[in-house]
Amino acid sequence: MEKKPFNDISYEAFLREEKLMGSKCRSCGELFVPPRPICVKCGASEMEWVEMKGVGKLSAFTCIAVGPPFMKQEGYTRDHPYCTGVIQLDEGPRVTARIEDVDTKKPEEIKVGAAMKVKYLHRGEGDRGATFLAFKPV
Amino acid sequence: MKRPRKLGRGVALVGVGMSKFGMFRDRDSKDLFAEAFRNMIASVDKGADPQDIDALYVGNFSNDFFIHQAHWGPIVSDLIGHVPKPATRTEGACASSALALREGIFAIASGFYDMVLVGGVEEMSKRSTEEVAEGLALATAPYEGRAAFTFPGVFGAVATAYFDRYGASREHLMNVTIKSHNNAALNPRAQIKATIRSMMESKRRRASEKGLPEPTWQDEKEFLRDQDANPVVAWPMHLFDCCPISDGASCALLVGEELARRFTDAPLYVVGMGQGSGSGFHAADDLTTFQATKYAAEEAYSMSGLKPEDVQFSEVHDCFSIAELIHMEDLGFFKPGQAYKAVEEGATRRDGSKPINTSGGLKCKGHPVGATGVAQLMEVWEQLRGEAGERQLPIKGLRIGAAHNLGGTGGTCTFTIFERR
Ligand SMILES: [Zn+2]
């Protein structure tokens, strides 16, 4: 694990293993999720991997009725919107994630500030497979 | 920012032109740019010889994706008979042509060139709505695209954060939309040249012609609350919160300040300009602000010595209704959390204390993304020169106008202040 570069490929490889990982600056301790190779707080480049607990709060969200073609393929349409949003992790950083297990036809009932926990969406298989970060209400 | 910015040589705007904005099956980027170019040349009061143009900067976000053709600098250069002189494409998502404007200003301010053409073009409507959503989403920050955010989705999420923090609601966004339409109805160049009320009337008429029951909306807000008339795109963004899909082009002519009066007795001078960059919107400390706009504004204000209250009117990048509120706060026109109240009180109408998007904004004028930054200058040009017709601001001594352009999810923002002397 120590050898993985602090980049998006590693981040997504960890997601496939159902791990939400960030990088922590060895110099000043600042935490970044997704990982960064350079600390934008102190400028140092020595990082270490840290696993997140996978819990946080909903900071912002939207229920999308007109999505891109890849979401249409997942079955999301004007009559069946999907929710996506921003989660503030308990550890501090904010991440974007799909929001699952909410009623996207009643967005008024989804509340900013709601407690959320991680869920991993595995799509496709083999080399074409990918895992998307999602959160759902606790 | 260590010291106030300044230009090594003053730069003046002596002509501006736009093509029609709309969804055109039978028109392409070249013919749209040609229209903008002809209109720009015609706008130069004392005439300008295109042969005198030293260089061209053209903004284009993603014709690569939309029509599978890249490398727009030489294409536009060839189109207007500018070859073999230099042509450069700039890309900053929806702020692409604001970057062209800035490059043109730098090129003249440095003394390298005397006359520069800047512009932009985008041809979006030949793709489906879903494909346009996908194409525009190329300009989100990487993780936003992975989470299936579309642009309406990003601004929908920003709206939920703004609502939660400041107590605003969809009803307040409707005030922005109604105002944009009222202005656009007076703008012959607007893609959607109609008030909400006139759109309600035509829908009633169509229903009655078809023998269907006539809708009974009491006012604009009741129409905008109607899920059939105003369907959700990315909650809480509904159709009427979003700018349309547009094809179009824009261009403007810049010259060294000391040359300006050869071309017109009413040039506009660049007195303040700024540009900022931002992380993805989700990574910002505050989800109700774009730090790139704040930085751009700070540069422009310190360069000009002007304060937000000195800017008499402004075009701001209202790709979505919520965006107009956020930008007005980031530009210092209103305090954080106050813009929605100011709009409700009418402050941003043409007869208000801070008229915003008198053109109808991106919402109604149209938003061919790469063309927008320079197209915003059209309104500043007409208002400051007293040529805005029925939209003309009733302000005595109108002198200072500005344009704010945003690219991506706040990744690239510019703010440029012009003065009529
Ligand atoms: Zn550090």
Q: Please list, residue by residue across B41-71, b when 16 or more beta carbons sit within 10 angstroms of its beta carbon and e when fewer do.
A: bebbeeebeeeebbbbbbbbbbbebbbeeee
Q: Nearest to residue B279, comparing CAs of A34, A88, A47?
A: A34
Supply the DSSP symbol for B243. P
Of A8, A60, A132, the CB nearest to B161: A60
Q: How far is the CA of A53 from the centre of ligand 1 (A)?
A: 21
Cβ-Cβ contacts under 8 Å, A97 against chain B: 147
Which helix (DSSP H) or strand (DSSP E) does residue A23 occupy?
strand A21-25
Record the tokens describing residue B209, joined without a space.
Answer: 């012609």
ipTM of the modeled complex:
0.96
What is the per-residue pLDDT across B157-203, written as a single tens digit (0 to 9) for each? 999 999 999 999 999 999 999 999 999 999 999 999 999 999 999 99
Q: Name the residue in chain A with its Cα closest to that of B155.
A: A62
Residue spans of the domains in chain A: they are 1-51, 53-138
**Ligand 1: centre distance to CA B142 (Å):** 22
Computed from CA positions of residues B344, B345, B348, B354, in that sequence, does the dihedral angle turn out positive or negative?
negative
Burial label, B343 (beta-carbon count in 10 A; 0-12, 13-18, 19+): buried
Residue A60 burial (CB < 10 Å; 0-12/13-18/19+)? buried
pLDDT of residue B314 exceeding 60, the answer is: yes
Q: How confident is the prediction for chain B on average, in pLDDT?
A: 96
For residue B235, the chain A residues in CB contact (below 8 A) are: 62-65, 81, 104, 107
Contact B119, B251 (CB under 8 A): yes
- Is residue B94 annotated as part of the catalytic site, yes or no? yes
pLDDT of amino acid A3: 82
Q: Could you tell me the distance, in angstroms and rounded to a whole number, from the CA of residue B145 to the centre of ligand 1?
A: 27
Active-site position among B94, B243, B251, B413: B94
State the average pLDDT over residues B125-148.
88
pLDDT surpasses 70 at B399: yes
Distance CA A127, CA B398 (A): 62
The answer to whether B236 faces chain A, any CB pair under 8 Å, is: yes
Question: Which of the residues in chain A have pLDDT under 50?
Answer: none
End-to-end CA gap in chain A: 29
Q: According to the model, what pLDDT value does residue B113 have?
A: 98
Interface test with A, best of B62, B128, B130 (most A CBs within 10 A): B130
CATH entry 3.30.2230.10 includes domain A53-138: no
Whole-structure pTM over 0.90, yes or no? yes
pLDDT at B134: 87
Long-range CB pairs of B86-89, under 8 A, 24+ apart, other chains included: B86/B54, B86/B55, B86/B56, B87/B55, B87/B56, B87/B57, B87/B58, B88/B55, B88/B56, B88/B57, B88/B58, B89/B57, B89/B58, B89/B59, B89/B60
Write the pLDDT tens digit of every residue in B257-313.
999 999 999 999 999 999 999 998 888 889 999 999 999 999 999 999 999 999 999
Find the residue in A nearest to B133 (Cα): A68
Contact: A84, B130; criterion CB under 8 Å: no
Lowest mean pLDDT among A59-68, B130-139, B223-232, B407-416: B130-139
Active-site residue B367, yes or no?
yes
CB contact under 8 A, B153 and A98: no
Vertex B57, ends B17 and B292: CA angle to 5°?
A: 95
B136–chain A Cβ distance below 8 A for any pair: no
Looking at beta carbons, which pairs linking B160-164 to residues 24 or more positions away fall under 8 Å?
B160/A60, B160/A61, B160/A62, B160/A112, B160/B236, B161/A59, B161/A60, B161/A86, B161/A112, B161/B287, B161/B288, B162/B287, B162/B288, B162/B322, B162/B325, B162/B326, B163/A112, B163/B236, B164/A60, B164/A112, B164/A113
CATH of the domain spanning B11-128+244-420 = 3.40.47.10
Q: How far is the CA of A36 from the centre of ligand 1 (A)?
A: 11
Q: Identify the H or E element spanning B17.
A: strand B11-18
Cis peptide bond prior to B355, omega within 30° of 0:
no
Q: At residue B146, does pLDDT exceed 90?
A: no
A35 CA → ligand 1 middle, Å: 13
Q: Is the dihedral of CA B134, B139, B144, B145 positive or negative?
A: positive
Closest CA to B316 of B303, B329, B306, B307: B329
B133 in contact with chain A, both atoms CB, cutoff 8 A: yes
Contact B180, B317 (CB under 8 A): no
Whose CA is closest to A119, among A103, A135, A130, A131? A135
**Could you tell me which residues come within 8 angstroms of residue B402 by beta carbon, excluding any fewer than 6 positions away?**
B272, B300, B311, B313, B314, B315, B331, B380, B415, B416, B417, B418
Q: Which residue of A has its CA nearest to B164?
A: A112
Contact indicator for B265, A94 with CB cutoff of 8 Å = no
Lookup result for tokens 């939400």: A20
Q: CB–CB of A65 and B232 under 8 A?
A: yes
B396 CB within 8 Å of a chain A CB: no
Crossing angle, helix B29-43 and helix B72-79, to 10 degrees? 60
A135 burial via Cβ count (<10 Å: 0-12, 13-18, 19+): buried
Q: Distance (Å, rounded) from C-alpha B195 to C-alpha B188?
A: 13
B244 touching A (Cβ < 8 Å): no
* Rounded Cα gap, residues A24 and A39, in angstroms: 8
How does pLDDT run across B84-123, given as a tens digit for each residue?
999 999 999 999 999 999 999 999 999 999 999 999 999 9
d(CA A29, ligand 1 centre) in Å: 6
Q: Could you give the CA distance from residue B365 to residue B176 in angstroms, rounded to a whole number? A: 14
Which residues in chain B are closer than 8 Å to A68, comparing Cβ atoms?
A: 130-131, 133-134, 137, 148, 150
Question: How many interface pairs between A and B have CB atoms less than 8 angstroms apart?
Answer: 112
Percent of residues in chain A assigned helix, strand, coil, to nearest 5 = 15, 40, 45
Mapping DSSP to helix (H, G, I), strand (E, B) and coil, where does residue B204 land? helix
> How far apart are alpha carbons B90 and B212 in whole angstroms?
50
Give me the pLDDT at residue A1, please.
Answer: 54
What secondary structure letter does DSSP report for B153?
A: H
Q: What pLDDT does B178 receive?
A: 98
Total length of chain B: 421
Structural domain boundaries in chain B: 11-128+244-420
278-297 in B: which are within 8 Å (CB) of A? 280, 282-283, 287
